[in-house]
Amino acid sequence: MPITVRELLERPDLKTRLVAGAAGIDRVVTWAHVCELEDPTAWLCGGELVMTVGIGIPREPSGQVAYVERLARAELAGLMICEGMKAPPLAPDMLATADRLGFPVLLTAYEVPFVAVSRVVADANLEQEHRRLRQAVQVYEVARLVVHGELAERELIGRLERIVGAHLAVVDPLLERVLLPRDRTSDLRFLAPLRRMIERYPPGQLPAVLQLSEATPGAIALAVPTRRPVFLAVAPQRTGVARDIVTLRHVATVLALALERERAERERRYRFGSELFAQLADGRLPGELALELLRREQGFPEPPYLVAAVAAPDRVLPELQDALATLGTPHVALRRDGLVYLLLPERATALEVVERAVAVGKIGVSQPVRTLARVVEAMVEARWALERGGDRSRVVRFGEGALGAGHWPLSVEAARELVDRVLGPLFAHDARQGSHLLPTLAAFLAHDASWSATARALGIHRQTLVYRLRRIEQLTGLRVDRVSDLATLYLATEAARALGRPLPQWSEGRRAGGAERASGSPQGATVGAAASE
């Protein structure tokens, strides 16, 4: 059996006496560790006897009290101080605090080397080492079964709990979710205390073991070596059982293996879902077959679905998909035209997860998709809602608010008809002649129909701009000096952008002289000369 503080005190060769904390002398000593830091708890796991010559003990009474409180809070076995070395006088307040907390404070004679104490503890724990070896063999037999996919989630946790004799849970404090096992709601109690513990430390400087006694007496948490910051919460199943941190680290490694295996399967589903979505968006897959694949491979329920569009950077998409998968929300994702499109069941919880994962920016949402033949149209609706939504909500649904009647077309068909009718001749003319009518129109609208500002922005002569706008009027049948016609031109350009057919970009100070000569202008030479000035 492991040695206790009482047994160390009873060894005459160690010449050690107790000066405070008598109520804790039956604490088990798992290891004896020399440390001269003022806060050694970040490097210890619980159960250790801290041995010091006194360098790290504060000199002022308040500092000594805080020092003992830290050691007791970390559930260490006790504090052993070498007499006659560098320790300051022990303040009565410190000794009283140790008595109140039942935390043993020992004084050891100067001539007793700390290595002698360490050997006594190591020899006493020899049987514990054999037990740890047996546990390691059992843990890695579980690892073998995980690799071969022969253990279900509940059986995996159950076997590991029986090996270590403790209650285990893998939790994600950032997503506020229990990852393993998912169906045990009692493990939610670890989340809030763990989050508060993490917030106490700078990023990347967490202790090896976090104390979670606030959730359950004696509970701790260890980091699980995975891509996301997740933790193994460990709660004793009965009092008086020593925690073996070495074995628990083996357990954390096996659970990381299980999570990474699950992640690999998720990524396979993500890739398959993305290709499935792409084929739907391109019209390459019949709706009936796509629906069957969504149900069988992605776990989708029956329609209706929604398409959501977000402007998310590449690094956000895996986190977003993991958050949805953790909540059990089926989805497929497609990155296209600088946006991420998500096909989701029509559930409010799904949109809440998307909103929480995408920290900034709006989320455009389509009308319900009751048949997969409407996916392409729903993608346009989601994009339109994302780009033209108001400021009242982060989640903007197509057809609501600023997207309603009197402002924008209510259907994608109406938007396509408007773009084809108004801008189609300009797209065709620029493609055929190599002219710059579309970027000129975009610049003119961006500068509030100001002739002089537009000419300066494009870097062209005013007469060149006059010619281009007159040509736009001829091709569209709309006048740029008439408010109703200008509004139609503006609406058509916005509809084109929402449909994924944005006007070619113009740039400040761009010089595009000579284009009008290629377009057949009767004033080509004059205009070209003016534009090149």
End residue of a domain, out of 344, 374, 405: 405
90-144 pLDDT tens trace: 999 999 999 999 999 999 999 999 999 999 998 887 777 777 788 888 898 999 9
Q: Are residues 112 and 196 in the same domain?
A: no
Mean pLDDT, the chain, whole residue set: 85
Q: Are residues 256 and 171 in the same domain?
A: yes
Instruction: Please report which helix (H) or strand (E) contains residue 170, including its range.
Output: strand 166-172
Q: Are residues 502 and 470 in the same domain?
A: yes
Of 38-47, 460-469, 500-509, give the lowest mean pLDDT range.
Answer: 500-509
pLDDT score recorded for residue 407: 47
Q: Are residues 289 and 391 in the same domain?
A: yes
Q: Are residues 401 and 417 in the same domain?
A: no
Residue 69 lies in a domain: yes
In the chain, % of residues over pLDDT 90: 43
Q: Are residues 418 and 319 in the same domain?
A: no
Under DSSP, the state recorded for 151 is -
pLDDT score recorded for residue 519: 39
- The DSSP result for 237-299, as a single string, is SSTTPPP-HHHHHHHHHHHHHHHHHHHHHHHHHHHHHHHHHHHHHTT-S-HHHHHHHHHHHH-
Instruction: Please report which helix (H) or strand (E) contains residue 32, including its range.
Output: strand 31-34
Q: Are residues 171 and 189 in the same domain?
A: yes
pLDDT score recorded for residue 508: 56
Q: Are residues 317 and 421 in the same domain?
A: no
pLDDT confidence tier of residue 223, bands split at 50, 70 and 90: very high
What is the distance between the alpha carbons of residues 384 and 163, in angstroms, rounded to a whole number? 56
User: Of 296, 297, 274, 294, which is closest to residue 371 (Cα–Cα)?
Assistant: 294
End residue of a domain, out of 73, 108, 124: 124
User: Of 213, 167, 198, 200, which is closest to residue 75 (Cα–Cα)?
Assistant: 213
Q: Are residues 526 and 419 in the same domain?
A: yes
Q: Are residues 366 and 466 in the same domain?
A: no
Residue 369 has pLDDT above 80, yes or no: yes
Residue type present at position 277: F
Of 232-241, 357-366, 456-465, give the lowest mean pLDDT range.
Answer: 232-241
Residue 139 lies in a domain: no
Residue 256 has pLDDT above 90, yes or no: yes
What is the distance between the alpha carbons of residues 474 and 486, in angstroms, rounded to a whole number? 14
pLDDT score recorded for residue 177: 85
Give the tokens for residue 180.
């393993």
Residue 224 has pLDDT above 90, yes or no: yes
Residue 131 lies in a domain: no
pLDDT confidence tier of residue 384, bands split at 50, 70 and 90: confident
- Cβ 377 vs Cβ 396: under 8 Å: no
pLDDT score recorded for residue 308: 93
- The DSSP result for 406-440, as a single string, is TTS-SSHHHHHHHHHHHTHHHHHHHHHH---HHHH
Q: Which residue range forms the structural domain that includes residue 190? A: 150-260
> The CATH number of the domain where 109 resides is what?
3.40.1390.20
Question: What's the domain count of the chain?
Answer: 4
Residues 6+ apart with CB under 8 A from 98: 20, 21, 68, 72, 79, 104, 105
pLDDT score recorded for residue 372: 92
500-532 pLDDT tens trace: 777 887 665 544 444 343 333 333 333 332 332
480-491 pLDDT tens trace: 888 888 888 888
pLDDT score recorded for residue 530: 31
What is the distance between the alpha carbons of residues 32 and 80, in angstroms, rounded to a whole number? 9
pLDDT score recorded for residue 507: 62
Residue 511 lies in a domain: yes
- Cβ 293 vs Cβ 276: under 8 Å: yes
Q: Are residues 481 and 515 in the same domain?
A: yes
Residues 6+ apart with CB under 8 A from 225: 252, 253, 256
Residue 188 has pLDDT above 60, yes or no: yes
Give the phi and the psi of residue 335 in degrees, each rounded to 5.
Answer: -95, 125
pLDDT score recorded for residue 526: 33
Residue 25 has pLDDT above 60, yes or no: yes
Q: Three-class SS of residue 30?
A: coil
pTM as predicted: 0.54
What is the distance between the alpha carbons of residues 488 and 28, in angstroms, rounded to a whole number? 82
pLDDT confidence tier of residue 404, bands split at 50, 70 and 90: very low
Residue 442 has pLDDT above 70, yes or no: yes
Of 72-86, 164-178, 308-322, 402-416, give the lowest mean pLDDT range.
Answer: 402-416
What is the distance between the alpha carbons of residues 423 and 430, in angstroms, rounded to a whole number? 11
pLDDT score recorded for residue 319: 79
Residue 156 has pLDDT above 50, yes or no: yes
Query: CA torsion sign, 342 to 343 to 345 to 348?
Result: positive
Residue 477 has pLDDT above 80, yes or no: yes
pLDDT confidence tier of residue 293, bands split at 50, 70 and 90: very high
- Cβ 192 vs Cβ 49: under 8 Å: no
pLDDT confidence tier of residue 411, bands split at 50, 70 and 90: low
pLDDT score recorded for residue 391: 62
Q: Are residues 399 and 430 in the same domain?
A: no
Residues 231/232/233/239 CA torsion (nearest 10 deg): -150
Question: How far are the Cα atoms of 48, 50, 136, 222, 335 from residue 209, in angstroms, in the given order?
Answer: 13, 16, 20, 5, 40
